[in-house]
Amino acid sequence: MSDVIARRPIWSLIIILAVAILVWLVFSIWTPGMEAMFGRKRVFLSALFNGITLGALYFLVASGFTLIFGLMRNVNLAHGSLYLFGGYLGYSIGEWSGSWLVALVVAFLVVALVGVLMQVLLFRWMEGQDLRQTLVTIGLSIIFADLLLWNYGGDTFQVTAPDWLSGPVTLPFAVALRSNGEAVMMTYPLVRIAILVGAIILGVLMWLALNRTRVGMLVRAGVDDRDMLSATGVRVQLVFVMVFAFGAGLAGLAGVVGGTFQSLQPGEDTRILLSSLVVVIVGGMGSIPGAAVGALIVGLAEQFGSVYMPTYAVMLTFIIMVAVLAVRPEGLAARR
């Protein structure tokens, strides 16, 4: 950390200043002048929190995508379909068993199994043929989309959150002052906060698994040089299958999570796929910290864009992507 500050003093200063301003904006009570500039504080804060929690969802999806891409050079364009499949499955299981956690676990396992089948039956036989693998995933995404439409129709579904996660929670941030000087506190849905915490825990666990375990070491070695890894006698196919299963399972799990605080409908698969594409392009391909940074940026950009410039919200995300590509084509967090 101190190393980074020493190397890039100006950038570090700018970032620290930005964070400080943000913290001040969150905790202070806004004057009328500020409200005239940024709108109501409640709107600003909910955009901020919605952006961060949306970023958590994008991180769940994009980290699987980026792992699969980093290790196998496979641009899995069926990743959004896996997300939607996991979501629908979670909905069905949730309705059947009445338990949100069971739905989460079953969706993870079943979609991971689908991932294993995809890797073992299809991608294993066309290793090194990047384009062909991508074309196969396009074919699969069309087939999945139509099968899901067939089974679930065009209706909108929502996974029901468990009782212990529903309802609002009061946050220690004052939104405004009542006329008698009493502060109005910000309230926020508990389920979104739980998802944010869950995503952070998962991210930390993934980072530990990648950096502190033997399997993680194999995966990192495979990202750097796949051929050399297999030459050292590692059963690289097994590593591939495991990573594909885990990445796909994460997409399925994210489907249940996304189905809980957003909704599930046809077309959601491409929307999520595109978001994770942008996340991965911005963050850097094959990097978990990159996925986290990218997801946060894209989530915040989408929410703030839709609050402050509704007709050009997409353009904000897009401009960020273009700027990153122009300055650092390999992504923000990628190693050179």
Partner 1 sequence: MAVADLNLAQQARPRESFSDWVARRGTAFWVVAGLLLLMPAIASPFWLVQIIAYSMILGLIALSLMFLAGYGGIVSLVQMTVAGFAGYLVAILGDSAISQISLHWPWWLAAPVAILVATLFGTLSGALSVRTEGIYTIMITLAIASAFYYLTLQNYTIFNGFSGFNGILPPVFLGIDWGQQVPFYYLTLACAALAYGAVVYVSRAPFGLALQGTRDNPRRMAALGFDVVAHRIAAYTFASLIAASAGVLLVWYQRQISPGTAGVGPVVDMLIIAVVGGLSRPIGPFIGALVYVLLRTFSLDVLEGVGLDGRRYQLLIGLGFLVIVLFSPDGLIGIWQRLRDRYRRSGDIRDSQMGSGGGTP
Interface residues with partner 1 (CB under 8 A) are: 73, 75, 77, 122, 130-132, 134-136, 138-140, 142-143, 145-147, 149-150, 270, 274, 277-278, 280-281, 285, 310-315, 317-318, 321-322, 325-326, 329-330
Q: Would you say 122 and 248 are in contact if contact means Cβ atoms under 8 Å apart? A: no
Phi-psi label, residue 267: left if phi above 0, alpha if psi -120 to 50, beta otherwise: left
Whole-number minimum distance, CB 72 to partner 1, in Å?
Answer: 11
The answer to whether 59 touches 201, Cβ cutoff 8 Å, is: no
Q: Which is nearer to partner 1, 113 or 149 (CB)?
A: 149
With respect to partner 1, which residue has the nearer C-beta, 235 or 335? 335
**Shortest spacing between CB 166 and partner 1, in angstroms:** 31
Q: How far apart are the first and last CA of the chain?
A: 19
CB-nearer residue toward partner 1: 205 or 322: 322
Helix (H) or strand (E) holding 189: strand 183-189
The nearest distance, CB 88 to partner 1, in angstroms, is 17
Return the number of the residue (17 or 142) whose C-beta is nearest partner 1: 142
Instruction: Please report how close the Cβ of residue 56 comes to partner 1 at its closest, in angstroms.
Output: 21
CA distances 139 to 66, 113, 115, 145, 204, Å, are 20, 19, 15, 10, 34
Cβ-count burial 8-40 (b if 16+ within 10 Å, e if not): eeeeeeeeeeeeeeeeeebeeebeeeeeeeeee
Q: How far is the CB of 112 from partner 1 (least distance, A)?
A: 22
Is residue 173 within 8 Å of 48, Cβ to Cβ? no
Nearer Cβ to partner 1 (4/322) = 322
